[in-house]
Amino acid sequence: MVIGFVRAALSAFVGALGFGALMHAPMKALTVSSAIGSLGYVIYWLCPQLGMQEAVAMFLAAFVASAAGQIAARKMRMISTIFTTVAILPLVPGIGLYRSMWALGQGETRLGASIAVETMALILMIALGVALGSTLFGIRRRPRRKADSD
């Protein structure tokens, strides 16, 4: 349990760090956002062990990662895109899209379709979690004026 925990946290941190560097995130923000990503992944890893469904765990993890990312972005006065993008990297089920296409290519239509639906459900959960996090903790934007009356 403890070893699994450390393993999950460390691997998520390293993975997010590398991927963030591939996306040229500024150095200053990279370590912070990778740490947030690690936190999110630990939540995603821990929740099913407490009897939670995977989709719910994904939503919770994405929400926490996004909320923490928004707060960090405001504290460091940088764009929230960096923090939320890098923070959800360990969660994103990219390999599912590939596995689905792989199964379709093998002629296993049913398997491919079911993996695709599962993956899209998880991706939707991430998007919802991120949206909730940024609505609650994001910087409030002024409503855009259609035509300035001056």
Q: Report in angstroms how near the CB of residue 53 gets to another protein at its nearest.
A: 19
Please tell me whether residue 130 binds another protein under the rule CB under 8 A: yes
Residue 144 engages another protein in binding (rule: CB under 8 A): yes
Reduced 3-state DSSP string for the chain:
CHHHHHHHHHHHHHHHHHHHHHCCCCHHHHHHHHHHHHHHHHHHHHHHHHCCCHHHHHHHHHHHHHHHHHHHHHHHCCCHHHHHHHHHCCCCCHHHHHHHHHHHHCCCHHHHHHHHHHHHHHHHHHHHHHHHHHHHHCCCCCCCCCCCCC
Among 5, 14, 48, 114, binds another protein (CB under 8 A): 14
Kindly write out the interface string for residues 86-125 of this chain, putting x where it contacts another protein by CB under 8 A and - elsewhere.
Answer: --xxx-xxxxxxx-xxx-xxx-------------x--xx-
Give Cα separations from 147 to 43, 141, 143, 144, 150 (angstroms).
45, 17, 12, 9, 9
23 sits near another protein (criterion: CB under 8 A)? yes
Does position 7 bind another protein by CB under 8 A?
Answer: yes
How many chain residues interact with another protein (CB under 8 A)?
54
Exactly one of 5, 10, 113, 136 binds another protein (CB under 8 A); that residue is: 10
Which residues sit at the interface with another protein, rule CB under 8 A?
7-8, 10-19, 21-26, 29, 41, 77-79, 81-82, 85, 88-90, 92-98, 100-102, 104-106, 120, 123-124, 126-127, 130-131, 141, 144, 147-148, 150
